[in-house]
């Protein structure tokens, strides 16, 4: 049977080579497949090596509406039950990492600024996120507004 390749597969491949959302606005220009996409699915699924990589991959998951990944990397008791996809018209503009603090072998913090635009208004989310490694996997615990709790 001469079956054409599924178009969804072709679309997925194209998407994988597109610039990773976490990288917009910088000069690295890594493809999604070489950056956060590795942790969203495939052999390295949920294997972000540190909190910084997890932070970036979660930002990209927000941009790409990967709610499955957000839930899987969120402390189960803190993950909102009403997590939803982006509202139509919301645009994520970029992620800027402001700090990465290693507390101990299984705890790290990442400070970041995530910029978005909705209905013509720019929004900046400034947060210091706390991460914990459980059974070898980094997960997001919670975050506080601002760049660092020690400042």
* Interface pattern 104-143 for Zn ion (x via CB under 5 A): ----------------------------------------
Out of 7, 8, 33, 35, point to the residue binding Zn ion (CB under 5 A). Answer: 35
User: Among residues 40, 56, 58, 130, which is the contact residue for Zn ion, using CB under 5 A?
Assistant: 56
DSSP state of 106: T
Q: Does 51 bind Zn ion (CB under 5 A)?
A: no
Instruction: Name every residue whose Cβ is closer than 8 Å to that of residue 58 and which is 6 or more positions away in sequence.
Output: 69, 70, 73, 140
Find the binder of Zn ion among 18, 20, 82, 126 (CB under 5 A).
20
3-state secondary structure of 8: helix
| Options 3, 5, 19, 22; binder of Zn ion; rule CB under 5 A | 22
For 52, the 3-state DSSP assignment is helix
Strand ranges in 20-136 using DSSP code E only, listed in sequence order: 91-104, 107-118, 121-134
- Which residues lie near Zn ion (CB under 5 A)? 20, 22, 35-36, 56, 60
């Amino acid at each position: 049977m001469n079956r054409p390749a599924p178009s969804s597969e072709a679309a997925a491949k194209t998407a994988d080579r597109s610039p990773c959302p976490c990288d917009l606005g910088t000069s690295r220009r890594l493809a999604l497949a070489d950056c956060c996409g590795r942790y969203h699915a495939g052999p390295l699924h949920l294997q972000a090596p540190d909190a910084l990589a997890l932070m970036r991959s979660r930002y990209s998951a927000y941009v790409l509406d990967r709610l499955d990944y957000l839930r899987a990397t969120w402390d189960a008791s803190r993950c909102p039950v009403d997590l939803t996809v982006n509202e139509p018209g919301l645009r994520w503009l970029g992620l800027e990492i402001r700090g990465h603090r290693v507390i101990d072998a299984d705890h790290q913090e990442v400070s970041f600024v995530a910029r978005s635009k909705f209905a013509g208004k720019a929004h900046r989310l400034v947060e210091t996120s706390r991460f914990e490694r459980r059974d070898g996997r980094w997960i997001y615990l919670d975050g506080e507004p601002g760049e660092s709790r020690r400042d």
